Amino acid sequence: MRTTADKAGKKARRRAMFPVATMNVAPILSEEERAEMLASLKAAEARLAAGQCVEHDPDTFVDRLMKVRATAIRRKKT
Q: Give residue 3's pLDDT.
A: 46
Mapped onto helix, strand or coil, the DSSP state of residue 12 is coil
pTM of the model: 0.44
Q: Give residue 2's pLDDT.
A: 45
| pLDDT (tens digit per residue) in 29-73 | 899 999 999 999 999 999 999 999 888 888 888 888 899 999 999
Domain ranges of the chain: 2-77
Q: How confident is the model at residue 19 (pLDDT cuts 50, 70, 90)?
A: low
Q: Give residue 1's pLDDT.
A: 43
